[in-house]
Amino acid sequence: MLDGWLLDPHCTYLNHGTVGAPPKRVLAKQQALRDEMERHPSRFILRELHLEQPAPWRGKSRLREALEQIAPFVGAGADDLAFVPNITTGMNAVLRSFPLAPGDEVLITDLAYGGIARAAQSVTRERGATLRMVDMPFPLVSEQQIVDTIAGALTSQTKLVIVDHVTAQTALVLPVAAVTALCHEHGVAVAVDGAHAPGSIAVDIRSLGADWYCANLHKWAHAPRSCGILWARADHQPFLHHPIASWGYEGGFHEEFDHTATSDPTSFLAAPEGIAILHEWGFEDVLAYMHSLAWDAGQILTKCWRTRIDAPRAMIGAMVTVPLPESAGSTIEEATALRLKLLVEDRIEVPIHPWHGRLWTRVSTQVYNDRSDIERLATAVTRRCS
């Protein structure tokens, strides 16, 4: 299926999860939208994009039409969704709208994505609140460990918990529904970082019970960059503000997030095309293939490198994080050097990072990958670390 992408066929690309890679068909859809926009920019942007000016030939804005097509894919109502450029913007909106006061506490885990952790650090510092990072057990061998660890970390000062649906570096699928239920029992709100979820696992936002859910569609759902969504429970929407005040300020949830400063909206409007492709391929088959290849990758690499992963199969989605041989090193400098050699000399693109005293690699398994890609990585690392 690699022919469906613009990816270099001479490079083994095992890093889909970082910034995604939209199929050619989605890029063609985006370009068609750009061409249409440029034929009459004012009509497209002012009248049709968010109905700033009268457009009697349209019943809904282009943004709302696109969200209506996306909503069923993520198990949400379109009225509860808004587009954001990325999850960083969405989480900043949640954090900056949340009523934090001096002495309040925001809780995250050491598995949290660095950009979101920094956003939380910035907001808590401004408000005189506290950001507390909870260390997860290592190795993580069960979902219950996660729930129990967060349960033990909650205090009377905890007002908000931020939890990943799929963790960035460790690539683990976390029990978000169970964590949310636990937090709500203690009167604590929950915001979910779903950056890697839509398209890599089945997502049903409403069933999770969270207060807010942010996700990227440009990673696994095949939207062009950059394209994210923000979901908010109905009772939170009146108090949710875009982090950049613009024309829609104080106009309500839809108006604030739909009517922003001028930008290229075609990544949002082309997002339904990526979801349509997944449905045409058979989304359940796509998930099964990626999950099976990710699990097999873990077995192949750990056997070759004589290492191990302890996470159960239920916590593996379309990515797997595997420890490298001890001889690979343990520092950020060694990780950077090895990753560069794999890219330049072996033509393999894959992330490598230090964690818990050794180097690890996170392997993404998209439908254009197969077992030979994994074996190529196994051989290259073995040769360099022997």
Residues 6 or more apart whose CB falls under 8 angstroms from that of 317 comprise 166, 171, 173, 196, 200, 201, 290, 291, 294
- Per-position b or e across 21-48, b if 16+ CB within 10 A of its CB: bbbebbbebbeebbeebeeeeeebbebb
pLDDT value of position 55: 86
Instruction: Give the pLDDT confidence score for residue 330 in this predicted structure.
Output: 96
Q: Which residue has the tokens 């409007």?
A: 269
Q: What is the pLDDT of residue 53?
A: 83
Q: How far apart are CA 272 and CA 200, in angstroms?
A: 16
Q: Residue type for 68, please?
A: E
Residues 163 and 176 sit within 8 Å (Cβ to Cβ): yes
CATH fourth-level superfamily of 2-20+282-385: Aspartate Aminotransferase, domain 1 (3.90.1150.10)
What CATH topology corresponds to 41-276?
Aspartate Aminotransferase; domain 2 (3.40.640)
The single residue listed with the structure tokens 């937090």 is 183
Please give the pLDDT value at position 247: 86
Question: Given this model, what pLDDT does residue 365 score?
Answer: 98
> 105-109 and 130-134: which strand pairing?
parallel
- Please count the CA atoms within 13 angstroms of the CA of 326 that sit on its side-chain side: 2
Show me where the domains of the chain are located.
2-20+282-385, 41-276
pLDDT in tens, the chain (386 residues): 999 999 999 999 999 999 999 999 999 999 999 999 999 999 999 999 988 888 888 889 999 999 999 999 999 999 999 999 999 999 999 999 999 999 999 999 999 999 999 999 999 999 999 999 999 999 888 999 999 999 999 999 999 999 999 999 999 999 999 999 999 999 999 999 999 999 999 999 999 999 999 999 999 999 999 999 999 999 999 999 999 998 888 889 999 999 988 899 999 999 999 999 999 999 999 999 999 999 999 999 999 999 999 999 999 999 999 999 999 999 999 999 999 999 999 999 999 999 999 999 999 999 999 999 999 999 999 999 87
Q: What are the angstrom distances between the C-alpha of 148 and each of 45, 144, 183, 247?
A: 49, 6, 11, 44
**pTM, rounded to two decimals:** 0.95
pLDDT, residue 185, reads 97
